[in-house]
Amino acid sequence: MSLRIVVCVKYVPDATGDRRFGEDFTTDRDGVDGLLSELDEYGVEQALRIAEASGDAEVTVVTVGPDDAKDALRKALSMGADKAVHVNDDDLHGTDALGTSLVLAKAVEQAGFDLVVCGMASTDGTMGVVPALLAERLGVPQVTLLSEVAVEGGVVTGRRDGDAATEYLQAQLPAVVSVTDQSGEARYPSFKGIMAAKKKPVQSLDLDDLGIEAEQVGLAGAWTAVDSAAARPARTQGTIVKDEGEGGKQLAAFLAAQKFI
């Protein structure tokens, strides 16, 4: 039977642009350019590599997000994924990580899966908890933060570089994995891939389709609340000198004046 791989991806505001909050302190997703989170490209890449190695696999990408999030799905499809699921519902505005994991879990279950692949974190919220939450909700092993991953004979293995140690992990499928930006550069979509993506199926689902009540998600359903968000005052530039043979000494004088030496 063919290996069913589901990749969870997020459409995020471009980190090199001007990211900000809306009036309700949710991330402003309308007034800024968005894209497929770069960290999720690594998830798509590893899913495709696992699919290629297995020879008989189907890769589905799933996103939860507003209308524009379909751009993230298109990118993943043009990289080589087979089909896509877009969960989109006005009631999702302001959903927290716990709520997102609920929606993703339902969508992944509905799609059918042997392996769920995620990026290590989103580039906007940067919490890095959705993969673990998905595993908890789906009741399957989490094999996360991997810099190397392989699937063979119904077993997933991988390397996790933690703070204190490097660990090798192993679990039976079905499982949830997340991969880091050390797992291998993501491929660029080819022209052929971009053309092919236009014909690949994208299924749209709303909360009803997933059997989720509006109260379970959105800003009102979130179990955390933001009281304030303030732009950090810009740093003021200090003294800049050009090295004309004394740069190191000038720097030493600065460090001494600041009592670092």
Partner 1 sequence: MAEILVLVDHADGVVRKPALELLTLARRLGTPVAVVLGAGDAAAGIAAKAGEYGAERVITADAAQFADFLVVPKVDALQQIAGSVNPAAVLVTSSGEGKEIAARLALRLGSGVITDAVDLASSEGGPVATQSVFAASFTVQSRVSHGTPVITVKPNATSPEAAPAAGAVESVAVEFSAAASGTKVTSRTPRVSSGRPELTEAAIVVSGGRGVGAADGFSVVEALADSLGAAVGASRAAVDAGWYPHSNQVGQTGKQVSPQLYIANGISGAIQHRAGMQTSKTIVVVNKDPEAPIFELADFGVVGDLFAVLPQLTDEINTRKG
Find out whether 105 and 138 touch, Cβ atoms under 8 Å: yes
Residue 251 to residue 257: CA distance in whole angstroms: 10
Residue 53 to residue 150: CA distance in whole angstroms: 9
| Residue 247 tokens, joined | 């740069």
Residue 145 to residue 147: CA distance in whole angstroms: 7
Tokens 């989170």, residue located = 37
Residue choice 38, 82, 136, 148 for contact with ligand FAD (CB under 6 A): 38
Residue choice 153, 198, 215, 224 for contact with partner 1 (CB under 8 A): 224
Q: Taking CB within 5 to 8 Å according to partner kind, which of ligand FAD, partner 1, none is near residue 183?
A: none
Residue number with CB closer to ligand FAD (14 or 148):
14
**Residues 87-146 close enough to bind partner 1 by CB under 8 A:** 96-98, 101, 120-121, 123-124, 126-129, 131-133, 135-137, 139-145
In sequence order, the β-bridge partners of residue 85 are: 62, 203
Residue choice 181, 184, 250, 254 for contact with ligand FAD (CB under 6 A): 181
Find out whether 61 and 81 touch, Cβ atoms under 8 Å: yes
28 binds ligand FAD per the rule CB under 6 A: no
Smallest separation (angstroms) from partner 1 to the CB of 192:
28
Residue choice 2, 170, 190, 204 for contact with partner 1 (CB under 8 A): 170
SS3 209: helix
DSSP 20: -
Candidates 68-76, 192-200, 207-215, 219-227; binding stretch for partner 1 (CB under 8 A): 219-227
SS3 52: helix
Smallest separation (angstroms) from partner 1 to the CB of 226:
5
Binding site for ligand FAD (CB under 6 A): 38-39, 123, 181
